Amino acid sequence: MKAPSEPARFAGIPWPPAAETQPGAELLTCDLGRAAYRPTLALQQRLLARVQGGDSRAYLLLVEHDPPVITLGRRARDEHVVASPRQLAAAGVELVACRRGGDVTWHGPGQLVAYPILRLDPRRRTVHGYVRSLEQAVIDLLARFGIAGDRRRGHTGVWVGHEKIAAIGVAVRRWVAYHGLALNVSADTSGFDAIVPCGIRDASVTSLSRLKGRDVSVDEVKPLLLECLSGALGFGRVRRVLAAGAPASPPR
């Protein structure tokens, strides 16, 4: 079933919410459920403009992308998409170029994607430090499942042994970061067969469900990832502004 278009999917949702210029380390989160990539990117861009305009708060979007999508980062190479346009169209997979760092990756149902939109600081929260914090949040989450996640020299993301379980790609404009991380939750990682994941030919991908030997749901992982992200990024206050299917109301 095709995912709703932007006007239908986000109709009536008061995002971005009213600007807040008072200081305070508050993270506002929005659970979009399943949503297409392009309207979610448009929502990120609206929040990006809000933070660039002086809103002191940070935002976090949680989403499973549906329909599936292959995104091309700034360093993507054409040969890293091994499926033909006809094959992608037949499978209902979109292909979208974007401004995040990194190469090519896949998003789809069973993968939890987190998009923080927040201000960096050249003294306290550098781009490099921010990426390491995103990795740490995933490592902390995996530890709750008894899984030892790690970094791999020369590559961003989180690995379990020689298999990648989470990809990270961010973009920064005027010291505000957007895009984020993607964590493989379900056992079905066949969507990655259409690409060379992150342009790394000698690596494979894995998922929480595969490593645990049971069906781990995205809903099970969401609150844990939220806790780990807020801790790794240093947010003392987290407010759930809108959940998928919930009545829309602006934050106060």
Catalytic residue ranges: 198
Contacts of 166 (CB under 8 A, 6+ apart): 135, 138, 149, 157, 158, 181, 182, 183, 184
Closest CA to 226 of 208, 212, 238: 238
Give, in order, the Cα–Cα distances in Å from 50 to each of 28, 41, 54, 141, 232. 13, 14, 7, 29, 23
Query: Encoding tokens for residue 96?
Result: 């979208």
Whether the bond into 67 is cis, omega within 30 of 0? yes
Show contacts of 228-231: CB within 8 Å, 24+ apart.
228/137, 228/138, 228/140, 228/141, 228/144, 229/27, 229/60, 229/114, 229/116, 229/134, 229/137, 230/27, 231/137, 231/140
Q: What are phi and psi of 214, to 5 degrees?
A: -150, 170
Dist CA 184 CA 203 (whole Å):
15
Largest Cα–Cα distance in the chain?
Answer: 51
